[in-house]
Structures are given as C-alpha cells and as structure tokens.
C-alpha cells in the first residue's frame, strides 16, 4: 500500500516536459520582445517619413506661392487652396506674404477662399 505524503504530487511531470515548456515560454517571450521593438522602430520611421513628406510639400508650395502672391495671381492661389482643402491632413495654410490675407483650413473653414 502506497501513501502519498504532502511533498509528493499526484501528477508527475517528467523532466523532458519541464524543459520543453520552459523552452516554449522563453521562445514566446523573446518573440514578443522582438516584435515590440520592431513596432517601435517602424512607428518612428513612419512618423519621420510623413514629416519629411509634409515638409517637402510645404517647401514646394512655399516656393511657388511666393511668385503667385508677388504678381497677384489669385486664381492660381485659389486652385492651390482648393487642392489643399481636399487633403484631410492639411490644417493650416498661410499666404500672408504681401497683400494676401491668411487662409485657415479645417478648424476655421471660411465660406470664401480668402478669410
């Protein structure tokens, strides 16, 4: 007759099974860590790329808009403003060089092009 003492468990798990379970847990932890770090790097890269593209667009508009403002080509400026209004990422446009007033998009959309 066998009597179980308090130190023995009713379910015996072999040493091989314990090592396999520990290995699987470690592999999963390392995989989660690697994916998390990569997500942080990818997010940083996307933010930098979006910022660079926005700056490039702003520089391009700045280079051409000054010419339009200087010579009073308001029809061309209106076309630029209308194109920018269609882009949901654009919140503010400033053509305040010379005689042109400030144009605000999104937060204070004016009924006309020139506010």
Structure tokens belonging to residue 42: 């990818």
pLDDT digits (tens, 9 = 90+) for 2-47: 555 555 655 788 999 999 999 999 999 999 999 999 999 999 999 9
pLDDT in tens, 45-95: 999 998 898 888 878 877 777 777 777 777 877 787 788 778 777 777 666
Compute the distance between CA of residue 9 and CA of residue 99 in angstroms, rounded to an integer.
88
**How far lies 30's CA from each of 17, 19, 44, 93, in Å?**
20, 16, 21, 47
pLDDT of residue 10: 59
pTM: 0.48
């Amino acid at each position: 007759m066998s009597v179980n003492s308090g130190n023995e468990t009713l379910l015996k798990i072999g040493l091989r099974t314990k090592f396999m379970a520990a290995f699987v847990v470690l592999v999963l932890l390392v995989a989660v860590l690697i994916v998390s770090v990569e997500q942080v790097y990818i997010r940083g890269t996307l933010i930098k790329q979006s910022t660079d593209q926005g700056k490039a667009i702003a520089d391009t508009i700045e280079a051409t808009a000054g010419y339009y403002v200087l010579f009073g080509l308001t029809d061309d400026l209106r076309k630029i403003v209308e194109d920018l209004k269609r882009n949901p990422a654009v919140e503010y446009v400033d053509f305040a060089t010379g005689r042109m007033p400030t144009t605000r998009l999104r937060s204070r959309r004016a009924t006309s092009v020139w506010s």
